[in-house]
Amino acid sequence: MGSEANPFHRNDGLSDDSRAYETETKRLTNADYAGSFKAREGNDSTLARKADAPVRLAHLHSSNGIYGAERWTAMQVKYLDADVVNPVVITVGAKAGSELFYKMLIQEGWDAEHIALSGKLNLRALIELRRILNRRRIQVLHTHGFKSDVMGYLATRGSNIKLVSTPHGWSGDEGARIRFYELVSRVFLRRFDRIYPVSVGLLEGLRERGFPERRLHLIVNAVDDAPFADCFEARRSRRADEPFNVLFVGRLCRPKGVFDLLEAFSQARFDCPVELRFIGAGVEEAALVARCRELGMQTRVRFVGAVVDVVPHLVWSSVLVLPSYSEGIPRALMEACCAGVPVIGTAIPGIQVLIRDGVRGLLVGAGDIASLARALERTASDPAAAELMAKDAREYVMARHGASRQARQFEQQYRALLLHDQSSVSSEAQ
């Protein structure tokens, strides 16, 4: 695509990937599904009559920080109707950062438990998870990530608990070890009751791997815009002479393009004070810090680590950059859009769903460091144009990816699973 190599190219038409996305989402809501939609609408009253008590739901996470999957769950817990679904979040892990998500949930007043044991096929952790599920009489277990997928499957064997998962993206290109873990995870996923990919790209990937169509249900990624309203207002008072602040939020690993961003930042030529801030942790953090020193960039690059609240960093930023090689529909990008932060991303399907090049942000080819450097220079030199694109992106994301609508979709999914009412469980998209 021409726009991949040139961040200055304005492309008002849809890319092939974006067109495929639009086609898929339309297909999921066209006449072929009209009958099932009518059946679902008709069954709403049936669901209400049969559900005497809220569905007892548990989300399961095993991670060392607060990233897209964790923010997804926090958003869903916030927007679920307590009269329909009663959720608890269970986190597992003994490494540094593994309690961050649990502590955030408790601080915000949500129900959560933490198992302070390794999540890598630890028998003690499995026994403790099974004990929690039994004590809370959980009916649906919703897993996130390859470790929680495997743990969830093993802990629920021989029970009546419905098992569902949301793949937020694959990380196999991080190395052979992660590829192996995700391969094992996908073996177990084939036995889950439902799988809810967050993007068309992930849905198609599961189809290509031979997952049964009846188990796959697309519910596209969503974002809670409420926490970013004050951030948006605060950014409106930014002065034109402020430094140019570049922000990255996510795991520090090669598939996220963090080395590309560091190289592009070092090559770009700016006419104002600049700073690059990395929010997050990951397997490549030490190597990234070492490369920063080699480039002599220590005074202009800051490694913040994992954070609970990203809002202050969005207020600080002039642009958020997500130079990933693969994504579902990235939460960091949606949150930046809700906050009114200009964005630069790569021309990959999960990002093109949100960003149209030159309209709602700038797109460059994945791995194209020179184009990324030019996109940074363009954003720094013309902040007024960047803010106009950010305004369009904010309106687009808030209109199409609302948290409340996604919560209603999952409420219906959870209840229908328990009622064995397959006609009411239909794929839903935008």
Instruction: Give pLDDT, residue 363.
Output: 98
Instruction: Give pLDDT, residue 357.
Output: 97
Query: Among 351, 344, 329, which residue's Cα sits nearest to residue 376?
Result: 344
Show Cβ contacts of residue 268 under 8 Å, excluding neighbours closer than 6 positions: 373, 374, 376, 377, 380
pTM of the model: 0.72
Amino acid at 228: F
The SS3 assignment for 210 reads: coil
Instruction: Give pLDDT, residue 40.
Output: 40
Low-confidence ranges of the chain (pLDDT < 70): 1-51, 119, 170-183, 185, 420-430
Domains and CATH numbers, the chain: 16-222+402-424 (3.40.50.2000), 226-400 (3.40.50.2000)
Query: Among 166, 137, 112, 109, which residue's Cα sits nearest to residue 410?
Result: 166
Instruction: Give pLDDT, residue 28.
Output: 42
What distance in Å separates the CA atoms of residue 168 and residue 324, rounded to the nearest whole number?
A: 14
For 93-156, the DSSP string reads --STTTTHHHHHHHHTT--EEEE-S--SS-HHHHHHHHHHHHHTT-SEEEEESHHHHHHHHHHT
Query: Among 34, 188, 144, 142, which residue's Cα sits nearest to residue 410?
Result: 142
Instruction: Give pLDDT, residue 179.
Output: 60
The distance of Cα 121 from the centroid of its chain, to the nearest Å, equals 25
Instruction: Give pLDDT, residue 45.
Output: 46
In contact, 424 and 39? CB cutoff 8 Å: yes
In contact, 423 and 366? CB cutoff 8 Å: no
Show Cβ contacts of residue 263 under 8 Å, excluding neighbours closer than 6 positions: 295, 369
